[in-house]
């Protein structure tokens, strides 16, 4: 009997990638071979995204591609689009199993049930789920940086967002499981761990006894052999004094925070149902920068939210410039069925959204170049992630992408090296090894 083949594709965020990896881990243990998505496979696993209309469209494209590649193959569709519109997904050509954002540990047995001619569905009422689905995941990216998901779900219900309907209420991984996974990753040679979740700042509030993100981060940071711990994304009010103190004082914590802004206008923030103001955001950023001068602060900003005026957009530009983000992820507002904002009457025309998006991207590029250039002449520590015969590539703890020439055959991947920065561009910095 020939070896069965699994092909996967993941749309969307780092949490989705972790979820895919957790399912792939199960298939590998069952004897499957992982092949490229464009190859013929017995099972195609498509992990979908529904944050934007583009995410929906790409998800459906991948399903059609799999059906065309092997009409006899089984197509498993999981993730956020599958959770929010399971009937629509199930009706697409070739789909054999629809899995939501829970029940991923049962996919293999459901496929076996299908082979016996039984009906299968793994889409539960996500708001009835109260426990974190604890699925260990190998990391298949080939990087020296491993992602660890410790939280799922969101309680916020921003007016533009479908995520709570796709992911349910906030649920946290138990402390013992988190620490065990960290020890395993360090033993496997990962020098950096990135903590991730749908709303990471809510970590631990639902545990008994409760924990905070700062508390679990402190415990993780004490793991012998761990070189770096990176926190992926927190809202402004979740950068607590305890968390900031940890970032300042513990050498394992990376000097990098991703803090979603979404808008620099108080009027728009209120309509979005974000629970902070422009002034709150600036206050926490100034507090961070006063204690960590070379910190990298990255963000997400949405343009074209319903009712966004020219002045609202100018407020966003001015705040972005004052904060001096090192990277801005720019999104155009996309009406999502079932959300409050989709019913707002004052939707913004597509051309205006495009114009504002381009202007914000230009500012983001200017700020990124300025941040990178500020390190020219400095010596930095780089975790080497890739190398060829002539060049090494990696990142600093404050997320500078660094490239440097190699003139001898050294195996540096996974190690931390000292590099003196000699030049900078939009993508990062270039330097020379000093040790």
Among 46-60, 173-187, 414-428, the least confident range:
46-60
Residue 135 in this model has a pLDDT that exceeds 90 = no
pLDDT class of 1 with cuts at 50, 70, 90: very low
Same domain, 389 and 256: no
Note the pLDDT tens digit of each residue in 237-267: 999 999 999 999 999 999 999 999 999 999 9
Q: What is the mean pLDDT of the chain?
A: 92
Domain CATH number, residue 54: 3.40.50.12160
Domain CATH number, residue 399: 2.40.50.140
Note the pLDDT tens digit of each residue in 402-422: 999 987 777 888 899 999 999
Q: Does residue 285 sit within a domain? A: yes
Same domain, 269 and 348: yes
Q: Does residue 149 sit within a domain? A: yes
The rounded distance, in Å, linking the Cα atoms of 124 and 249 is: 43
| Domain limit, last residue, from 90, 124, 158 | 124
pLDDT at 2: 67
Note the pLDDT tens digit of each residue in 49-72: 988 888 889 999 999 999 999 998
State percent of the chain over pLDDT 90.
Answer: 70
Same domain, 304 and 384: no
Same domain, 110 and 165: no
| Domain limit, last residue, from 54, 89, 124 | 124
Q: Does residue 132 sit within a domain? A: no
Q: Nearest Cα to 264, choosing from 276, 253, 252, 256?
A: 276
Same domain, 296 and 347: yes
Note the pLDDT tens digit of each residue in 98-133: 888 888 888 888 887 777 665 556 676 777 778 888
Q: Does residue 413 sit within a domain? A: yes
Same domain, 182 and 56: no
Note the pLDDT tens digit of each residue in 333-386: 999 988 999 999 999 999 999 999 999 999 999 999 999 999 999 999 999 999
Same domain, 206 and 334: yes
Domain CATH number, residue 331: 3.80.30.20
Q: Which domain holds residue 393?
A: 379-433
Same domain, 254 and 179: yes
State percent of the chain over pLDDT 70.
Answer: 96
Same domain, 31 and 167: no
Same domain, 20 and 115: yes
In the chain, the number of structural domains is: 3
Among 4-13, 19-28, 32-41, 134-143, the least confident range:
134-143
Same domain, 79 and 208: no
Same domain, 155 and 26: no
Q: Does residue 137 sit within a domain? A: no
Q: Does residue 351 sit within a domain? A: yes
Q: Does residue 138 sit within a domain? A: no
Secondary structure in 3-state letters for the chain: CCCCEEEEEECCCHHHHHHHHHHHHHHHHCCCEEECCCCCCCEEEEEECCCCHHHHHHHHHHHHHHHHHCCCCEEEEEEHHHHHCHHHHHCCCCEEEEECCCCHHHHHHHHHHHHCCCCCCECCCHHHCCCCCCCCCCCCCCCCEEEEEEEECCCCCCCCCCHHHHHCCCEECCHHHHHHHHHHHHHCCCCEEEEEECCHHHCCCCCCCCCCHHHHHHHHHCCCCCCEEEECCCCHHHCCHHHHHHHHHCCCECCEEECCCECCCHHHHHHHCCCCCHHHHHHHHHHHHHHCCCCEEEEEEEECCCCCCHHHHHHHHHHHHHHCCCEEEEEECCCCCCCCHHHCCCCCCHHHHHHHHHHHHHHHHHHHHHHHHCCCCCEEEEEEEEECCCEEEEECCCCCEEEEECCCCCCCCCCEEEEEEEEECCCCEEEEECC
| Domain limit, last residue, from 334, 358, 373 | 373
pLDDT at 345: 94
Q: Does residue 409 sit within a domain? A: yes
């Amino acid at each position: 009997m020939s070896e069965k083949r699994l092909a996967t594709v993941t749309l969307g965020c780092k949490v989705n990638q972790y979820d895919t990896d957790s399912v792939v881990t199960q298939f590998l243990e069952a004897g499957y071979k992982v092949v490229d998505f464009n190859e013929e496979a017995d099972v195609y696993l498509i992990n979908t995204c529904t944050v934007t209309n583009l995410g929906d469209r790409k998800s459906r494209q991948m399903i059609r591609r799999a059906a065309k590649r092997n009409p006899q193959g089984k197509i498993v569709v999981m993730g956020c689009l599958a959770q929010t519109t399971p009937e629509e997904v199930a009706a697409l050509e070739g789909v054999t199993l629809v899995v939501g954002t829970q029940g991923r540990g049962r996919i293999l047995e459901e496929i076996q049930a299908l082979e016996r001619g039984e009906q299968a569905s793994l889409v539960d009422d996500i708001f009835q789920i109260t426990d974190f689905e604890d699925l260990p995941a190998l990391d298949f990216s080939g990087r020296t940086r491993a992602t660890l998901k410790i939280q799922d779900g969101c309680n916020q219900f921003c007016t533009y967002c479908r995520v709570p309907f796709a992911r349910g209420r906030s649920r946290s991984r138990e402390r013992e499981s988190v620490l065990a996974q960290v020890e395993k990753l360090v033993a496997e040679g990962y020098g950096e761990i990135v903590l991730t979740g749908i709303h990471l700042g809510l970590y631990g509030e639902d545990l008994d006894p409760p924990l905070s993100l700062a508390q679990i981060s402190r415990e993780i940071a004490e793991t012998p052999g761990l070189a770096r711990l990176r926190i992926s994304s927190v809202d402004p009010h979740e950068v607590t004094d305890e968390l900031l103190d940890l970032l300042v004082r513990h050498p394992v914590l990376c000097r990098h925070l991703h803090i979603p802004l979404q808008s620099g206008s108080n009027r728009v923030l209120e309509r979005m149902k974000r629970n902070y103001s422009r002034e709150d955001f600036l206050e926490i950023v100034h507090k961070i920068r006063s204690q960590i001068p070379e910190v990298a602060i990255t963000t997400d900003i949405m343009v074209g939210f319903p009712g966004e005026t020219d002045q609202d957009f100018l407020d966003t530009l001015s705040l972005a410039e004052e904060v001096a983000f090192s990277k801005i992820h720019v999104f155009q507002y996309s009406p999502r069925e079932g959300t409050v904002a989709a019913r707002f009457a004052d939707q913004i025309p597509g051309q205006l959204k495009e114009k504002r998006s381009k202007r914000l991207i230009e500012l983001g590029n200017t700020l990124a170049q300025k941040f990178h250039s500020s390190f020219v002449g400095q010596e930095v520590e780089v975790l080497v992630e890739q190398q060829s015969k002539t060049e090494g590539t990696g990142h600093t703890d404050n997320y500078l992408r660094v490239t440097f020439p190699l003139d001898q055959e050294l195996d540096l991947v996974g190690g931390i090296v000292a590099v003196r920065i000699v030049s900078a561009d939009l993508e990062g910095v270039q330097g020379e090894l000093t040790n």
